[in-house]
Amino acid sequence: MSRIKTVAGIAGALMLIGAWAGNPAGAADTKLEQLKAQGFARVAIANEPPYTAVGADGKVSGAAPDVAREIFKRLGVPDIVASISEYGAMIPGLQAGRFDAITAGLFMKPERCAAVAYSQPILCDAEAFLVKKGNPKGFKSFADIAKDPSATIGAPGGGTEEKKALEAGVPRDRVIVVPDGQSGLKMLQDGRIDVYSLPVLSINDLVKKANDPNLAVIAPVADAPVYCDGAAFRKGDEALRDAFDVELAKMKQSGEFAKIIEPYGFSAAAAMSTSREKLCGAP
C-alpha cells in the first residue's frame, strides 16, 4: 500500500511542479509541439503551378507551400516536407496521418469542410477551360459540355473540375481523369480530350509554358464560382489550425501575405474579402 502511496505522492508532486511550470506533467503533447520536435511539417501538394511546384532540383515552391513554410517557421517548425498527391487522395492521406497538413490549393467546399479543419482563406481563383484555338465547340460552361454528347473533358481526379462536370450532367465516361497539367495539355493537343479544366492561374501557367498558338483559354467558366483554398488540418488538430490562423492574420495585416502570393498572380484582397465560415457554408 505504501508503494502505491509513494508512487502517488511522486506523481502528485510532479503534477504540482508541472502545473506550476505551466506545463502540467502528463499533459498530452500538442500537435504543434510534436511538429516542433519533428523539425518539419509533412504537407500534401499537387505540383500544379502556381499553386504548388516541385523544381528539377526537388525544391518545393508555389504560393500555398510558400505561405505554409513561412507560417510554420513563425510557429517554431523550421521547414516543410512535401509529398505529391492526387487531389482526391489528399484528405484520406491527411486523415490516415500521412500528412500533417494539405497546402495545395484544395478549395473549400462544404463536403471538404466537413472532413478537415481549414484555415482562413489563402488562394482564390475562378475556373478555366483550355480548348483548341477558336473554341470550335463553343464551350463556356460545364453544362455546355454535358449537352454535347461527343464532348470529353479532362480534369484532376477527385478535383473540383471533375465534380463540377459530373454535377452538370457530363456522364462519367466523358469525364477523363488527368494526373497532371502536362498530361492534360498533351491530351488536348493530341485531340484526345476536347477540354482540359483547371483553375485560371494553373491553365494560364500551362499556356505560357506551352508556347502553342493553337490553344485558347475560356475563363471564367460560366457555371462555376470563384473558389478559395485554405491550409487543411486533420479534425482534432484545431489548436494547430488556430495557431496557423493567428500568424496568417498577422501576415495579412502587415502586407507580408500579399508579398508572398501576389507575385504568383493571386489576389490578397480576394482572400481577405471572404472567410472560412462563408466558404464552408456556401451551397
Site residues (vs ligand 6CS, CB under 6 A): 48, 51, 87, 105-107, 156, 159-161, 198-199, 202
Q: How far apart are CB 177 and ligand 6CS at their closest, in Å?
A: 11
Q: How far is CA 190 from the centre of its chain?
A: 29
Closer to ligand 6CS by CB, 106 or 146: give it: 106
* Residue among 107 and 139 whose Cβ is closer to ligand 6CS: 107
Cis amide leading into 220 (omega within 30): yes
User: What is the three-class DSSP state of 278?
Assistant: helix
C-beta of 151: minimal distance to ligand 6CS in Å? 19
Q: In terms of CB distance, is 119 or 160 closer to ligand 6CS?
A: 160
Query: Least distance to ligand 6CS from the beta carbon of 107, Å?
Result: 4
* Burial class of residue 138, CB neighbours in 10 A (0-12, 13-18, 19+): exposed
The answer to whether the peptide bond before residue 92 is cis (omega within 30 degrees of 0) is no
Q: Which is nearer to ligand 6CS, 87 or 196 (CB)?
A: 87
Contacts of 33 (CB under 8 A, 6+ apart): none
- Whichever of 107 and 142 has its CB closer to ligand 6CS, that residue is 107
DSSP codes, 4-37: HHHHHHHHHHHHHHHHHTTS-TTPPPPHHHHHHH
Cell numbers for 79: 521547414
Residue in 254, 261, 283 with CA at minimum distance from that of residue 124: 261
Question: Which residue number, 128 or 248, has a Cβ lying nearer to ligand 6CS?
Answer: 128
Could you tell me the smallest distance in angstroms from the CB atom of residue 14 to ligand 6CS? 47
> If you search the block for the grid coordinates 489528399, which residue do you land on?
90
Distances (CA, A) of 103 to 2, 68, 241: 54, 7, 12
Give the three-state DSSP class for 80. strand
Residue nearest to ligand 6CS (CB): 159
Minimum CB–partner distance for residue 252 and ligand 6CS (Å)? 20
CA neighbor of 202 nearest in space, from 237, 233, 174, 178 = 178
Nearer to ligand 6CS (CB atom), residue 51 or residue 129: 51
Report, in Å, the least distance between residue 108 CB and ligand 6CS.
8
* Contact between residue 236 and residue 100 where contact means Cβ atoms under 8 Å apart: no
CB of 202 to ligand 6CS, least distance (A): 6
Nearer to ligand 6CS, 65 or 156 (CB): 156
For the bound state, the minimum distance from the C-beta of residue 48 to ligand 6CS, rounded and expressed in Å, comes to 5
